[in-house]
Amino acid sequence: MDMTIFAGSSNVALAEAVAEKLELRLGNRTLQRFRDSELHIELHDSIRGHDVYLIQSTSLPVDEHPMELLFLADACRRAGAAQLTAVVPYFGYARQDRRASGQEPVGARLVADMLKTSGLQRLVAVDLHSTALEGFFSIPLEHLSAVPLLAQAVRPLVTAHTVIVAPDLGAVKLAERYGKLLRCPPGHCA
């Protein structure tokens, strides 16, 4: 089965690097906004029967990038992609994994449902905010981690005064993983 990679606007450099590593040409598409800021996407390559990968973080601006991914997925589905996978290095709305007051949305679940509805059949995500998010997806989810690579990269910068912190309870386990790899327990490094 032929493979095609398309980039959303959030990770063009990453998509280009992946395509180059796989000795593929990045899929040709138009991504533009009309005067009223409405999104328009058009594919310029035939992908019928292809295994298609969409590389797109749902990072800043977090209301625009998920829509690009949804539109790319829908365009690929309608163009006959045999398999459709999103590679999402950063999953926006991940911190909205529960309701604190009972009168707010569960944003992470809503985004997960929209991704499935768009035609995506699989999702590859990197270091989700918490493992609880895995239960929100009704499509297969590959949850990868960059922690070992990132810990190795920052190891030379760690001193006795380095402190590892988590922004909230959902990230405590992640901070603990960094601490273990850097031999730096939360609040103190050796």
Confidence of residue 183 (pLDDT cuts 50, 70, 90): confident
Could you give the percent of the chain with pLDDT greater than 70? 96
Domain that holds residue 169: 146-190
Distances (CA, A) of 82 to 1, 26, 85, 134: 9, 18, 10, 24
Distances (CA, A) of 100 to 94, 103, 123, 128, 134: 14, 8, 27, 19, 19
- Mean pLDDT to the nearest integer, 105-120: 95
The predicted structure's pLDDT at residue 142: 95
- Model pTM? 0.89
What's the CATH number where 38 sits? 3.40.50.2020
Same domain, 160 and 100: no
**pLDDT tens, position by position, 127-149:** 988 778 888 999 999 999 999 99
> Is residue 150 helix, strand or coil?
helix
Mean pLDDT for the chain overall:
92
Same domain, 19 and 68: yes
Same domain, 87 and 158: no
**pLDDT tens, position by position, 86-99:** 999 999 998 888 88
Confidence of residue 189 (pLDDT cuts 50, 70, 90): low
Task: Report the C-alpha gap between 105 and 26 in whole angstroms.
Answer: 36
Inter-residue contact 180 to 162 (CB < 8 Å): no
Number of structural domains (the chain) is 2
How many other CB atoms are there within 10 angstroms of residue 49's CB atom?
12
Same domain, 120 and 62: yes
**pLDDT tens, position by position, 59-88:** 999 999 999 999 999 999 999 999 999 999
Query: DSSP secondary-structure letter at 87?
Result: E
Inter-residue contact 170 to 130 (CB < 8 Å): yes
Give yes or no for residue 155 having a pLDDT over 90.
Answer: yes
Give yes or no for residue 188 having a pLDDT over 60.
Answer: no
